[in-house]
Amino acid sequence: MMKKWFLALLVSFPLAAAEPWPEVKWEVLVPKHWNPAKKFKHLDFSKLQDSDPRAMELLDEIKQEWDNAPIEHSLNGKKMRIAGFTLPLERKGDKVTEFILVPYFGACIHTPPPPANQIIHAKSKIPLSGIQIMMPIWVFGTLSVQRGDTTWGVAGYGLSVDKVVPYKEKKQ
Amino acid sequence: MRAVLLLALKSAWARRLTLGITLVSIALASALLLTVERVRHDARENFSQTISGVDLVVGPRTGGVQLVLYAVFHSGAATHNMQWDSFDALSHHPAIAWAVPIALGDSHHGFPVLGTTPNYFEHFQYADQQTLQMSAGRVFGEVFETVLGNTVASELGYHVGDRITLAHGLTETGPSHADKPFTVMGILAPTGTPVDRTVHVSMEAITALHLDWTGGAPMPGFSIPAEHVKKFNLIPKEVTAMLIGLKSRSDVFRLQRHINHYRGEPLMAVMPGVALDELWQTLASVENSLLIISVLVVLVGLAGLVATLLAALNERRRELAILRSLGASLGEIFLMLTTEGLMITVLGVTLGYVLFAVGMEILAPMVQTQFGIHLHWRILTVNEIILLLSIIVTGFLVSLIPGWRAWRMSLADGLTPRI
């Protein structure tokens, strides 16, 4: 009798209860069926000549396609933890209240910048101490999908931060 | 025990000159350490509090740090301007929520003059997203109207309704714009940022001032009176920089790239936070070396303390031996010597704090005018308390050395007269 009850309990509380902030990888933020090269399938690069101005134009177009990268709407409201590099936006004293999270080091200084679906705009109600520029970090919080401006800006990800933990390399 | 401590006090008083000098050296060392720590902390805080809510600073191509320094902190000078057309085109970009131009170059009694639009007062934010507030009057509307930062008004004693003239260039010795006086329309509430030290005028005013100028000097034999400037086209041709706020802050990289690749003219966009971090990284080594030097000075002061106490020990052989023979235990002798060292350290640190507090009071206005850094009056920060406590602990630890020496000295050693 006791055993059955215990089993029922186990089933009704799946693993999610044990992990309130499941880990999310950056790839998940890119919609599965999105293919930036789709538009350019008909193009044959071998037919372009060296230093063809069209090649440059094409590159610009592909870049633009990346800039307008769509986001995964199903992630709205999902609790998660994600690792990335920080770029502080707003400070309160030496603490940070708003920052941008990007998947790779130096994303803010070097071009090309990451596409819109690889940038998370994180806000924290409690000012966070010890956040520096391009610092690897685990962010725990709830993801939200921000409606973008219709003409230029595409939608982006926002994150309301519950807590942050410095990122440490996993031991092999 | 009390008798021993009283004796220790009296004995120290008998050697007040040498001990006093040691005390002063510890006091100076701790005052130096506190000052370095306070200035370092406040300078950093000041800088990060100066700008908030601005996503990009845009200007002609130069260094990112330099652009932010002159556009936001009004320190240093621009090497080049950007075209008004570029400002106009960029400010209509769909991703941009607001954009304000900034034109620098003129001054008023050493305070920089900033040409901008009334939008500046609405959008510019400092500290933790605080907007600028008027303490008196209103924002400028007409061409020859100005809004003063709080320090400008208080230092020069201006009130709403006063008339002021601006100087061309950044020094008082340069030619002046005396023919076109401005009326003070408003005074801003204090912010603790460079805004306090700025004279704000409209973009049109900057153009109007220089209508009859050529090559950095008034055109000889030709001048346009203030009442006629409106007959001319006052749309500026150039701006020094522009500040941008975005609709969505995650667009910042895309817009940054758009501006860096702007086809009209070579421009650059920097995120103010990134530029300031770059600046800190360059300054970090200077900061750290200052801190290391002041820590070393403290150590030198404490080494002086030990040397003084040890030197005194030789003179005090008789004294200690007599105390022993009168029944003082070894422990009491040890305690007496160590207490003396600790006492001098504590007194030194206290005196150092007083010196520091008085020095800050005197230095703060100077630092504010010279460097625009606002030093806050606080009793002590946590860091400073830690520093002071570690001086005291180190002082105690090094005082154990003379205590231990006295312990080792035998009774007979002190009583046997030597010739």
- Provide the pLDDT for residue B171: 66
Domain co-membership, B295 together with B397: yes
The verdict on residue A13 lying in a domain is no
- Position with higher pLDDT, B232 vs A171: B232
Domain co-membership, B107 together with B218: yes
Residue B312 has pLDDT above 90, yes or no: no
Domain co-membership, B180 together with B89: yes
Cβ of A153 within 8 Å of Cβ of B271? The answer is no
Residue B219 has φ and ψ, to the nearest 5°, of: -65, 125
- Provide the pLDDT for residue B382: 87
Cβ of B247 within 8 Å of Cβ of A158? The answer is no
| Residues in B 93-112 with any Cβ partner in A closer than 8 A | 93-95
Domain co-membership, B310 together with B243: no
The verdict on residue A21 lying in a domain is no
Residue B383 has pLDDT above 70, yes or no: yes
Cβ of A130 under 8 Å from any chain B Cβ? no
Domain co-membership, B356 together with B407: yes
Who among B247, B260, B273 is closest to A89 (CB)?
Answer: B273
The verdict on residue A109 lying in a domain is yes
The Cα B389–Cα B239 span in angstroms is 52
The Cα B104–Cα B60 span in angstroms is 14
The verdict on residue A107 lying in a domain is yes
Q: What is the ipTM of this complex?
A: 0.73
Domain co-membership, B120 together with B41: no
Domain co-membership, B25 together with B68: no
A148 vs B contacts (CB less than 8 Å): 248, 251
How far does A162 lie from chain B, in Å, by closest CA?
20
Q: Are B79 and B120 within 8 A, CB to CB?
A: no
Confidence grade of residue B346 (pLDDT, cut at 50, 70, 90): very high
Domain end, chosen from B214, B243, B278, is at B278
The verdict on residue A6 lying in a domain is no
Residue B163 has pLDDT above 70, yes or no: yes
The verdict on residue A32 lying in a domain is yes
How far does B154 lie from chain A, in Å, by closest CA?
27
Domain end, chosen from B225, B251, B278, is at B278
- Provide the pLDDT for residue B400: 92
- How many domains would you assign to chain A? 1
- Provide the pLDDT for residue A5: 57
Domain containing residue B119: 51-278
Cβ of A70 under 8 Å from any chain B Cβ? no
User: Which chain B residue lies closest to A102 (C-alpha atoms)?
Assistant: B250
Confidence grade of residue B414 (pLDDT, cut at 50, 70, 90): low
Cβ of B291 under 8 Å from any chain A Cβ? no
B387-413 pLDDT tens trace: 999 999 999 999 999 888 888 876 666
Domain co-membership, B75 together with B173: yes
B256 vs A contacts (CB less than 8 Å): 113
B286-303 pLDDT tens trace: 889 999 999 999 999 999
Domain end, chosen from B248, B278, B308, is at B278
The Cα A66–Cα B176 span in angstroms is 53
Domain co-membership, B174 together with B261: yes
Confidence grade of residue B4 (pLDDT, cut at 50, 70, 90): confident
- Of the candidates A33, A62, A64, A67, the one whose C-alpha atom is nearest the C-alpha of residue A45 is A62
- Provide the pLDDT for residue A132: 82
- Provide the pLDDT for residue A16: 46
The Cα B46–Cα B41 span in angstroms is 9
Kindly report which listed range (A141-155, B61-75, B263-277) carries the lowest average pLDDT score: A141-155
- Provide the pLDDT for residue B415: 67
Residue B363 has pLDDT above 80, yes or no: yes
- Provide the pLDDT for residue A117: 83
- Position with higher pLDDT, B308 vs B7: B308
Domain co-membership, B223 together with B320: no
Kindly report which listed range (A40-44, B182-186, B264-268, B347-351) carries the lowest average pLDDT score: A40-44
B92-149 pLDDT tens trace: 988 899 999 999 988 888 888 999 999 999 999 887 788 899 998 999 988 899 999 9
Domain co-membership, B249 together with B263: yes
Domain co-membership, B34 together with B55: no
DSSP string, B91-137: HT-TTEEEEEEEB---EETTEEEEEE-THHHHH-EETTTEEP-EEEE
Residue B241 has pLDDT above 90, yes or no: yes
The verdict on residue A145 lying in a domain is yes
Per-residue confidence of chain A (172 residues) as pLDDT tens digits? 555 555 555 555 544 455 788 888 888 888 887 776 776 677 677 777 777 777 778 777 777 777 677 888 888 888 999 999 988 888 877 788 889 898 888 766 666 677 878 889 999 989 898 888 888 999 999 998 876 554 555 568 889 999 898 888 766 5
A124 vs B contacts (CB less than 8 Å): none
Structure tokens given for B239? 């701006």
Kindly report which listed range (B83-97, B212-226, B227-241, B332-346) carries the lowest average pLDDT score: B212-226
Inter-axis angle of helices B272-315 and B64-72, to 10 degrees?
A: 90
A152 vs B contacts (CB less than 8 Å): 93-95, 251
The verdict on residue A19 lying in a domain is no
- Provide the pLDDT for residue A152: 55
Domain containing residue A156: 26-166
We report the CATH number of the domain holding residue A80 as: 2.40.50.870
Question: Average pLDDT over chain B, rounded to whole?
Answer: 86
- How many domains would you assign to chain B? 2
